Amino acid sequence: PRRTRSGRTITQLQLMNEIQECCEAIPHMQREIRPAATFPDDVAHVARELSPRVIQFSGHGNAVRAGAYAGALAFERGGTLQPVPPDELIRLLREDCPDLQAVLLHGCHTLRPLGELIHREMPHLYVIGWDSLLE
């Protein structure tokens, strides 16, 4: 398990399992699965290249509980958590995903406040997130 700066334990993501489940559930001709290692560079590049209608982000939604990053989705990179400022995520979705219809936020407690904030800023989107811990 990973730990936040405050020492709180964060369970390691099982992203390969998640990718495998997506591959099994979505027909080959209807999916493009591209892991994005860094935000915003890799994510923006893939978003501009593919112009997705549905995009999924997997990370930790409960890594930061206070301050400007409260509720932000945090990605793992090199054993550390990297929270993404909610306003940067929304800007990327708005500018780099013109055909976007739905956002899936796959991580603990991603529905509130992040999912609600995305929906408030982009009310035409379906936003799917979690309101609990994932196990």
pLDDT in tens, the chain (135 residues): 555 566 666 566 566 676 677 677 877 777 777 766 678 888 888 889 888 898 888 887 877 777 767 778 888 777 777 888 889 999 999 999 999 999 989 888 888 889 999 999 999 999 998 887 665
The bridge status of strand 80-83 relative to strand 102-106 is unpaired
The predicted pLDDT at position 80 comes to 76
Return the SS3 of 28: helix
pLDDT for 33 equals 72
Give the count of beta carbons closer than 10 Å to the beta carbon of residue 133: 11
Does residue 26 contact residue 18 with C-beta atoms inside 8 Å? Answer: no
Confidence (pLDDT) at 37: 65
Write down the pLDDT at residue 133. Answer: 67
pTM of the model: 0.76
Number of H helices, E strands in the chain: 4, 7
Residues 127 and 102 sit within 8 Å (Cβ to Cβ): yes
Note the pLDDT of residue 89. Answer: 92
pLDDT at 127: 95
Q: How far apart are the first and last CA of the chain?
A: 13
